[in-house]
Amino acid sequence: MERVMENENWKRQIEHSLRNTKDLPADFVITESEKNYFENTARGGSLGFSVTPYYFSLAENNPSDPIRRQFMPSMDEFAVKTYELEDPLGENRFSPCTRLIHRYQDRALLLVTDSCAVYCRHCFRRSFTRLNRGIISMEELGNVIAYLKRHDEIMELLISGGDPLMLDNQELEMILDRITGARKDLVLRVGTRAPVVLPQRIDNGLLSVLKSYLPLWVITQFNHPREITAQSRKAVSSLVDSGIPVLNQTVLLRGVNDDEDTLALVCRELVKIRVKPYYLFQGDLAEGTSHFRVPLKRGMKIAQELRRKVSGLALPVYAVDLPGGGGKVPLTESYFLKRENGSCYFKNGEGEVYKYPDE
Ligand SMILES: *Cc1c(COP(=O)(O)O)cnc(C)c1O
Ligand code: SF4
């Protein structure tokens, strides 16, 4: 009974999600550019609008609010730069079958659905999330499994989308069952924003499904300290208590978290709730996301300041996924200065130079 209630709880959030301007409260301040977005979506090609009542409630009624900026679309999304790409990571050439991307030798990425509880306006997977193809079909899953069987160099499977936790517990169990039935040795990673935008989703039924596929890691996306609430804390705790390590990938977003104090706060708060900050991503060159992008030079300065502020536990790796399929590279500053007369010279965090004899 309890399970049924909880299950309905997250489905009720989806059912009551805000999906067009008519769903916004009467006193909601809407800018001209936001209003025009909704009038122009008929043009097609844009990422849909949907926000859960829960995530909506975290936002302040002010167009520059950092939570609101993540779910409220505007005409800025139609401003496509010449260097922005439909396939910003050049993944097409790494896709051996539909919905599977095998870019790195020992791990592959599976896109099980293209729907999400909240469509993040900065989404770099927007060319996939706007397709409305829904959940992976049995035929597609069969092809993916055949590939996984032939490629035993794949040791880790990233299950993403879209948001895989938009599938209900039975659908998820069926997919995980078929995958692990064919490849018992796989380590699973589930990429989901549910703890942030739909914490009700982490219900007992889900926990008992996920628990039976350990080792399984969850990677989520907290971008701002105000996303850490009593509910998201509870969601994360129940995952960790079930033996599921939780990591976080923050996207560096202009007007949301592009200063070291906001990032330090979110990273420290994550450590308190037992979430390890894993990556801080430079914005990918996805179409219509330039208003969120932080120039690399500034990003590197912010990351450098962050490093001075927080502990190693709280520090994510600032990285960029190179366009055209180059893959992820860390954007760390170099502490190495030079090698001279059998010694290496380093600059430490305080800018002082130290010698390390190394013949
Ligand atoms: C990011 C990514 C991975 C995982 O990379 P890690 O550095 O191990 O987190 C795997 N496959 C694809 C296609 C990716 O984009
Ligand atoms: S949850 Fe992920 S895939 Fe979905 S819109 Fe947000 S960034 Fe894109």
Substitution candidate for ligand 1 out of 153, 158, 331 with most atoms within 8 A of CB? 158
pLDDT tens by residue, 51-89: 999 999 999 999 999 999 999 999 999 999 999 988 888
Q: What is the mean pLDDT of residues 338-354?
A: 94
Instruction: Output the CA 353–ligand 1 centroid distance in Å.
Output: 35
Q: What is the mean pLDDT of residues 244-255?
A: 98
- Least Cα distance to 327 among 39, 78, 109, 154 occurs for 109
Give the number of other Cβ atoms within 10 Å of residue 292's Cβ.
24
Comparing 77-86, 143-152, 267-276, which segment has the lowest mean pLDDT?
Answer: 77-86
Instruction: Output the CA 185–ligand 1 centroid distance in Å.
Output: 19
Q: How far is CA 280 from CA 104, 138, 357, in A?
A: 19, 35, 33
Q: What is the mean pLDDT of residues 240-249?
A: 98
CA distance 235 to 137: 29
CA distance 173 to 179: 10
* The 3-state secondary structure of 176-189, one letter per residue: HHHHHHHCCCCEEE
pLDDT, position 90: 87
pLDDT, position 8: 58
* Cα radius of gyration rounded to whole Å, the chain: 21
103 lines ligand 1 (CB under 6 A): yes
Q: Is the dihedral of CA 295, 109, 199, 272 positive or negative?
A: negative
Instruction: Output the CA 162–ligand 2 centroid distance in Å.
Output: 6
100 lines ligand 2 (CB under 6 A): no
pLDDT, position 1: 40
**Closest ligand 2 atom, residue 160 Cα:** 3
pTM (two decimals): 0.95
CA distance 343 to 349: 19
112 lines ligand 2 (CB under 6 A): no
Is the pLDDT score of 178 beyond 50?
A: yes
Is the pLDDT score of 130 beyond 80?
A: no
In contact, 85 and 138? CB cutoff 8 Å? no
Ordered DSSP codes for 93-147:
GG-SBTTEEEEETTEEEEE--S--SS--TT-TTHHHHTS---SPPHHHHHHHHHH
Please name the residue that has the structure tokens 């779910």. Answer: 71
pLDDT, position 312: 96
pLDDT, position 85: 87
Average pLDDT across the chain, whole number: 94
State the pairing for strand pair 317-322/327-330. Answer: antiparallel
Chain centroid to Cα 342, Å, comes to: 44
- Least Cα distance to 248 among 236, 231, 230 occurs for 236
Beta bridge partners of 159: 110, 190
Is the pLDDT score of 258 beyond 90?
A: yes
pLDDT tens by residue, 38-60: 988 766 667 899 999 999 999 99
CA distance 337 to 339: 7
pLDDT, position 41: 78
